[in-house]
Amino acid sequence: MTESQLTYITAPEGVAPGTGYTQVVTGTGRLVAVSGQVALDERGQVVGPGDPAAQTRQVFENLRRCLAAAGATFDDVVKLTYFVTDIGHLPAIRPVRDEFVDAGRLPASSAVQVVALFRPELLLEVEAFAVVPEPAG
């Protein structure tokens, strides 16, 4: 059995609530840091060129696999950072994110528009931080 408790603070006193994210998430356990994931499949091929929703789906599938490798799930994620080549892609990104992340337990998040990613076909990169329960004992 494991012990885990994450606390979601959507609007600390004096801070407006976020739209589509939680302002603060705290917890105890083991930290898991997942490097930025992009829309590359297992062969290194770009998935969904020019399609932000298709690329987001591949990014979140890659994040899911990386989290699983550390014994984590999206329920353990406390922070997501989005690097997007066009902030206008956010309306296409959020519904796909919601397929993977419980909308009632949204992690803290940041979205930053960048000039480019390491390949011109890529539209976004997402990194994650999770807190995994420590084994009880």
Q: Give the Å distances, CA to CA, from 137 to 6, 31, 65.
A: 19, 18, 28
Query: Number of H helices and number of E strands within the chain?
Result: 2, 8
Residue 89 belongs to a domain with what CATH number? Answer: 3.30.1330.40
* Domain interval for residue 110: 35-135
Asked if residue 23 belongs to a domain, the reply is no
Asked if residue 28 belongs to a domain, the reply is no
List phi, psi (to 5°) of 107. -75, 165
Neighbours of 137 (CB within 10 A): 6
What is residue 110's DSSP assignment?
E
Asked if residue 58 belongs to a domain, the reply is yes
- Check residue 4 and give its pLDDT: 55
- Check residue 18 and give its pLDDT: 86
Q: How many separate domains does the chain show?
A: 1
**The dihedral sign for the CA sequence 56, 59, 61, 63:** negative
Asked if residue 19 belongs to a domain, the reply is no
Asked if residue 120 belongs to a domain, the reply is yes
The pLDDT tens digits of the residues spanning 27-81 come to 999 999 999 999 999 999 999 999 999 999 999 999 999 999 999 999 999 999 9
